[in-house]
């Protein structure tokens, strides 16, 4: 579970930090189950970026929604303003440089901003076969701002070299990217300790540290080289309004906690989430006098 630091959890701080990257230009795509990113996008739409354009599954221009575990997909469809197949969307968004900001989550990242969603160990004989990267390789290469977030910050996750590069961002040099028709923008890594940034051929540097985390601790926990930065600042703390929106409107069920749980913790927590949402639906049916239900 995400630890509390003062009046908010680290998860909430990370959500607010990612949300601050959202802008009212280009497109963000909501796809693979990345609850912390989902919450960030919704928060941005309810605060500084109401016109941020989000494609949720096949629902384009989706509104801000409550992140119920089962009902979120239906909510994304409601109030969305277009329906497209995935191919139409990826051709126009990922390939044609309309992707603005998206936060991916992977098993590993390294100093080249390569991400691994394929295997732990050797590809042909993996120790752990991971799900695969789906659109993450295209996101990290083609979006203007690439965000990667992680539920833990250690040398296994922020690794010297990923076991396998499912995707990556190359070249890094702004002029070379422009020559190849690629959007130019920073790569930012958001972890429970810090925000790291890379925006040139120089290595990642620490942009900010959260709460009580120290620069030394972040350097020690990072498997790749970090460029010195004399101007490290504290990460902005969530505001009361952000916390209220997150807790009461966007994520009342607490789905963002998934990003900070081990597999075993998840199963019990997931059952609880499902039971609560199921009961809400049963109660709603009962309140309407719908009798087909006795579960």
**What is the footprint of other proteins within residues 174-213 (CB under 8 A)?**
179-182
Query: Do the Cβ atoms of 293 and 285 come closer than 8 Å?
Result: yes
Q: Which of 8, 53, 153, 169 binds other proteins (CB under 8 A)?
A: 169
Binding mask 17-36 for other proteins (x = CB under 8 A): --------------xxx---
HSE (CB half, 13 Å, CA atoms) of 72? 25
Query: Concatenated DSSP letters for 192-250?
Result: SSEEEEE-SSSPPEEEEE-TT--HHHHHHH-SS--B--TT-EEPPPPPHHHHHIIIIII
Comparison of 233 and 284: residue with beta carbon closer to other proteins: 284
| Interface with other proteins, residue 161, by CB under 8 A | no
Residue with tokens 């160990």: 121
Contact set for other proteins, span 47-76 (CB under 8 A): 47, 50, 57-59, 63-66, 68-76
Binding mask 113-132 for other proteins (x = CB under 8 A): -x--xx----x-xxxxxxxx
> Smallest distance from the beta carbon of 53 to other proteins, in angstroms?
16
| Interface with other proteins, residue 224, by CB under 8 A | no
- Phi first, then psi, for residue 55 (nearest 5°) are -100, 115
By CB under 8 A, how many residues form the interface with other proteins?
90
* Of 153, 233, 159, nearest in space to 193 by CA: 153
Other Cβ atoms less than 10 A from the Cβ of 7: the count is 10
| Interface with other proteins, residue 82, by CB under 8 A | no
Q: Which of 4, 25, 156, 280 binds other proteins (CB under 8 A)?
A: 280
């Amino acid at each position: 579970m995400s630890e509390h630091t003062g009046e908010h959890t680290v998860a909430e701080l990370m959500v607010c930090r990612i949300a601050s990257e959202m802008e009212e230009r280009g497109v963000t795509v909501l796809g693979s189950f990345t609850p912390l990113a989902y919450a960030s996008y919704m928060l941005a739409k309810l605060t500084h970026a109401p016109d941020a354009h989000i494609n949720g599954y096949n629902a384009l221009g989706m509104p801000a929604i409550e992140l119920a575990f089962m009902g979120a997909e239906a909510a994304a469809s409601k109030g969305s303003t277009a329906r497209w197949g995935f191919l139409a969307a990826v051709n126009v968004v990922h390939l044609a440089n309309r992707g603005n900001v998206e936060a991916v989550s992977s098993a590993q990242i390294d100093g080249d901003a390569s991400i691994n969603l394929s295997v732990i160990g050797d590809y042909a004989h993996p120790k752990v076969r991971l799900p695969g990267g789906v659109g993450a390789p295209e996101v990290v290469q083609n979006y203007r701002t690439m965000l990667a977030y992680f539920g833990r910050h250690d040398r296994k996750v922020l690794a010297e070299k990923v076991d396998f590069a499912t995707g990556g961002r190359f070249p890094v040099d702004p002029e070379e990217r422009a020559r190849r028709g690629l959007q130019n923008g920073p790569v930012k890594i958001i972890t429970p300790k810090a925000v790291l940034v890379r925006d040139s051929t120089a290595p990642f540097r620490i942009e900010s540290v959260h709460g009580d985390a120290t620069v030394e601790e972040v350097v020690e926990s990072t498997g790749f080289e970090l460029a010195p930065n004399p101007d490290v600042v504290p990460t902005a703390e969530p505001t009361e309004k952000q916390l209220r929106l997150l807790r009461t409107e966007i994520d009342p069920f607490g789905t963002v906690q998934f990003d900070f749980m081990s597999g075993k913790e998840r199963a019990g927590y997931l059952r609880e989430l499902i039971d609560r949402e199921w009961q809400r639906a049963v109660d709603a049916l009962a309140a309407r006098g719908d009798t087909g239900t006795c579960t």
